[in-house]
Structure formats: structure tokens, C-alpha cells
Amino acid sequence: MEKKNQTVCVIGLGYVGLPMAVRSVEVGYKVYGLDNVKKKVDLINSGKSPIEEKYLIDNLSRFKPKATTNEKILKQADIILICVPTPVDEKFFPDYTPVITASEIAARNLKKGALVILESTVNPGVSEEIIAPIFKKAGCKIGKDVFIAHCPERVNPGDIKWTVANLPRVVGSFDKNGLDMAYDYYTSITTGEVRKMKSIRAAEAVKIVENSFRDINIAFVNELAKSFDKFGIDVKDVIEGASNKPFAFMPHWPSCGVGGHCIPVDPYYLIERAKENGFDHKFLRTAREINNSMPAYTVELLQDSLNEIKMPMKGTTVGILGIAYKANVDDIRESPSKKIIELAKNYGANVLTYDPHILEKSTEKKLESILKKSQAIILVTDHDEFKSIEPKTWKKYGIKVVIDGKNCLDKDAIRRSGVIYKGIGR
Ligand code: SAJ
């Protein structure tokens, strides 16, 4: 069917779903967006993006999907995209509630012959074990009444180079028709390669593997940072040195912690599901333990530095620069800032916060304010505003210690000014 006669409905208008809805409008589909947050629906219908994301700010008002909270809209959809969160609980167990709810909504409002594509990150086996049974229970024959596919999301918040319009994708399905339909949809959406996977499980595994690869490599350099700290070696210098090898090395960078809705979460999907197969992902678990230890390690660096100048943590005013999980975004999901603030407070510090992208959660509304009031600083997020702070500024405001959680400041210049500087592994 010609795409302009096809209707797409995206369930979940967040970081993943909204860009897909906008792009689908741009390439000529009739597009509805379904979300359970009325405020978000109203904002989108007024052409305003609920998310600080360049692709959306540039395109939403021109290619606006019709957003609604009414699930009956799905009855018009030839293609349904499920783009809802897949969080983990406090024990790091995957929580599939949003995916199950969205699938049930799709199943009870399904147009015969529609294609349902899950973009949410799930472990291998979820489409067979959780999604398909929901449609079968609703009386659908898979491969006839409904076609089910998986295409892992690859949204990279803050990235202006790779967007839904040019990102390569992978698609998997239970059957050839489902695979071809999903392939046709994604080749109409992105200029990047669309690869047909040999199975839907393989498509589900791709995202987990991509992000676990990143998590273990970050854990590797975080462990190096802890070791090199005792060697008196600057780990950033070493990684930069190794990076001039033109092949077989891929730099990652130590930091105060691994945040975001992907990297620190996705490995747990594989760890937990593989347990049901009787397999223990020791390496993935160890990497998670190392990365989860970095917030505490960062606070210990502050404590040790304050001890050097006989300043107890208790009663010291500590300024936290950055709440977001990574540079120049307003997203706090799984951000290391949460644990760092909690630990500093537990040690009796008077904690102030400032994030230019998240002022509503900042105790201070201006950089000058937190610099004036703080005796020590932990830089948690390498926002551009913090990277451009002149090295002499810390001394000027009487700050005694700077802990650089992203190794983004000028270590030598800060030390020359007489301020204690500690980075992560430098
Ligand atoms: N981080 C490090 N060291 C690194 C890289 C990242 O400590 O060398 C930290 C970041 O500070 C952040 C967390 O890890 O707290 C995650 O950083 P990220 O750059 O991976 O950012 P995300 O979560 O936006 O990851 C996305 C992912 N995209 C998708 O899942 C579709 C990931 O697969 C991408 O590799 C990543 O963007 C990217 O390359 O930027």
C-alpha cells in the first residue's frame, strides 16, 4: 500500500516515539500519537516539544502528528509503533508493565492485518513470550490478522548527527511478510541501512549487545581509573595515548557514574533473562558493579581531599555542578548525581545543586550563586557551561576542592592556582 494511504500510530510520545512520529509525518504517512499524559498531548498538538531535543525543536511544528489520549485511534492504524519505557526496578529486574499495557491496548483496538512494531528495549524472547500471547489471546492469528516485528530504538539524546532520519536500523519478525512490511516502513523512514535479521530474537538481542558493549568498556576504564589513581598515572592521558593507535582500540572515558535510560539498564535485561536459561553473565554483572561504584568513589575523592586540608565533610558546603546524566541534555534518568547528592548529605555536607538545563530541580538558579556559596565542588555533568569556567575562577570564589567527575577541566591550571583538583583517575 502506498505510504501516503497508510496510517501510523505511535504509542508513547517520549524520546523515542515522538521523533518517530514526526519523521513519519515528514515522509508522508498519516500519523497519530497515543500517550497517557494529557499535558504532553496538548503540548504536542500546539506544536511545542515536551523534550529539549534539537530534532524535535526543529521539526515538530512543521511535521506535527495528531496526539491523543484516546486508544480508539489505533483502529485506524496500519502500522503501530510501541515506544514505551522498559525500566528496571530497584533490584534491577526488568519491568515490562508498560510494554504489556501498550500491547494489550493495541490488541483490543487492532485493525485486521496491521503491523505492530516494538521499539522498546527488551531481552531476547520477549516478543515470543510476552507480546505474541497477548495478540493470540485477543483472537489474532500472527502472520495473518497481525504482523509483529521488533526494531530496537537507537535514539541518542543530544546527538544532532544521528537522528531517526539517517540512523541505520535492524528489523526482525516472526514471518517473512512481517519482516518485509517492517523493512518497507523503516526504509521509508531512514536513509541509513535497514538490515533484516534472521529472527526476531536476534533483533531484540542487537540493542542489548550494543549497550552492554558500551557498559563493559566504560567499566574497563573506570577500573583503570581507580588503579591508576594509586599509580599516580593520569588515565585520561593514557586513553588519549592508546587512541592514537589507528586500529583495534576504541576509547571510552572514566567518570563519576553511568546514567541514562539505556546503558546502565539494558545489560540487566540479558543478565536476568539468561538466568532462566541457567547462564550467569558474570562479566556483565561485574561491569555493572564497577560502574555502580563510581558515585561512591567520587564522593570518597572529595572526602579524602577535604581531609588533606583538615576540613570535615560534615558542615562543608558542597556544590554539585550538573544533575543531568550527560552533557547538554535535561534528562536525569539514572543520573549519578542522585547517588552523589545522597551520599554527600549522609556525610553531613550542606549540598547545593545547579544544572542550567534543569533549573527546576536546582537549589541555585545561577552558576555564580553556587560558586559563591560553595567551599567544595563536584562536577557531575560536563555541560558546556561548566567546561568553559576559567581555571582561576575556583580560587576567586574561595573554593578549596574541585572534584572533576567528567575529567573535563584543566587539571594543571586549577592546581597551579592553589586549589585541590581530583579527577576520576587523574
Ligand atoms: N559515559 C561514560 N564514559 C563513556 C561514555 C559514557 O562514563 O565513555 C557515561 C555518560 O556520562 C552517561 C552514560 O555513560 O552518564 C551513558 O552515556 P551515553 O553516551 O551512552 O549516552 P546515552 O545513554 O544517551 O546512550 C545513547 C545510546 N543510544 C541508544 O541506546 C540508542 C547508546 O547506545 C549510544 O552508544 C550512546 O547514546 C552514544 O553513542 O552516544
Nearest 10 degrees: CA dihedral of 31, 32, 34, 38? 120
What confidence tens digit (pLDDT) does each residue in 252-282 have? 999 999 999 889 999 999 999 999 999 999 9
d(CA 360, CA 365): 8
Q: Can you point out the beta strands (E) in 225-364?
A: 317-321, 350-354
Which class for 218: exposed (0-12), middle (13-18), buried (19 or more C-beta within 10 A)?
buried
Q: For ligand 1, is residue 214 a contact (CB within 6 Å)?
A: yes
Report the DSSP pairing between strands 146-150 and 169-173: antiparallel
Share of the chain above pLDDT 90, in %: 93
262 is catalytic: yes
Please name the residue that has the C-alpha cell 503540548. 43
- How far is 367 from 218, CA to CA, in rounded Å? 29
Tens digits of per-residue pLDDT, 291-331?
999 999 999 999 999 999 999 999 999 999 999 999 998 89
Q: How many residues are present in the chain?
A: 426
Ligand 1: residue of 213, 214, 253, 333 to mutate (most ligand atoms within 8 A of CB) is 214
pLDDT surpasses 70 at 1: no
* pLDDT value, residue 349: 98
Are 99 and 81 in contact by the 8 Å Cβ rule? The answer is: no
8 Å CB contact between 42 and 78: no
What would the pLDDT profile of 174-229 be if each residue is shown by its tens digit?
Answer: 999 999 999 999 999 999 999 999 999 999 999 999 999 999 999 999 999 999 99
Looking at this protein, which amino acid is placed at residue 358?
Answer: I
Report the separation in Å between the CA atom of 207 and the middle of ligand 1, taken as the mean of its atom positions. 13
Task: Look at residues 142, 131, 123, 122 and name the one whose alpha carbon lies nearest to residue 16.
Answer: 122
CA distance 175 to 121: 21
pLDDT for residue 171: 98
Q: Which three cell numbers stand for residue 27?
A: 515522509
Q: In 3-state terms, what secondary structure has residue 382?
A: coil
Please write the tens of the pLDDT for every residue from 4-54.
689 999 999 999 999 999 999 999 999 999 999 999 999 999 999 998 888
Strands of 350-354's sheet, edge to edge?
A: 350-354, 317-321, 376-379, 401-404, 420-423
| CA–CA dist 250, 215 (Å, integer) | 13
pLDDT of residue 244: 96
Atom number in ligand 1 closest to CA 253: 8
Walk me through the domains of the chain, giving residue ranges and CATH numbers: 3-198 (3.40.50.720), 233-426 (3.40.50.720)
Of the pLDDT bands very low, low, confident and very high (cuts 50, 70, 90), residue 92 is: confident
Q: Is there an atom of ligand 1 within 6 Å of 298 CB?
A: no
**Torsion, CA 301, CA 305, CA 311, CA 312, rounded to 10:** 20
Contacts for 65 with CB less than 8 Å, ≥ 6 apart: 10, 13, 18, 21, 22, 24, 25, 31, 32, 33, 44
322 CB less than 6 Å from ligand 1?
Answer: no
Closest residue by CA, ligand 1 atom 14: 258
- pLDDT at position 366: 98
Query: Rounded to two decimals, what is the model's pTM?
Result: 0.92
> Residue 129 in contact with residue 103, Cβ under 8 Å?
no
- For ligand 1, what atom is nearest to the CA of residue 329? 24
Residue 178: CA count within 13 A, CB half-sphere? 27
Q: Which residue in 83, 256, 262, 408 is the catalytic one?
A: 262
* Residue spans of alpha helices (H) in 49-90: 54-59
